[in-house]
Amino acid sequence: MTTPEPRASQHPERRHSERRHPEARQPEARHPGRRRPPEQPPEPPLLTLHAAVVLVAAVLVGFTAGGLSHLGGVPAALAVLAGLGAAGGAVPVLRGLIR
């Protein structure tokens, strides 16, 4: 009577070789003719360069207008409103100017 051979998962040498060679478990290594799925294109940026430049320039315009208003003696709350109005008004102008 012969003893049954151990299964592959129970064989200590095989488990050790799988740990040393992880590519042995990958399907591409066993089936080199198979194609990999196509890679996904990268995600588009949250803001384009044009939009970022326009928004940064509008913030600078708003800070400048608000700061100058405050230095001119206008109360702080009204200077903030002046800066916000200037920044909001600058966006369409800058969008048309910066291309």
pLDDT tens-digit map of 26-77: 555 566 677 777 888 889 999 999 999 999 999 999 999 999 999 999 999 9
Question: Is the model more confident about 18 or about 95?
Answer: 95
- Does residue 8 belong to any structural domain of this protein? no
Residue 56 lies in a domain: yes
Residue 43 lies in a domain: no
Residue 69, in any domain of the structure:
yes
Which residue type is seen at 57?
A: A
Query: Which pair of tokens denotes residue 69?
Result: 């208003």
Mean pLDDT of 71-85: 97
Residue 65 lies in a domain: yes
Q: How many domains does the chain have?
A: 1
Query: pTM of the full predicted structure?
Result: 0.58
Per the domain annotation, does 87 fall within a domain?
A: yes
Residues 6+ apart with CB under 8 A from 34: 27, 28
Q: Is residue 85 part of a domain?
A: yes
Q: Give a yes or no: residue 30 inside a domain.
A: no
Q: Which domain holds residue 60?
A: 49-97
Decide: 54 and 95 in contact? Cβ < 8 Å.
Answer: yes
Q: Is 14 exposed, middle or buried (0-12, 13-18, 19+ CB in 10 A)?
A: middle
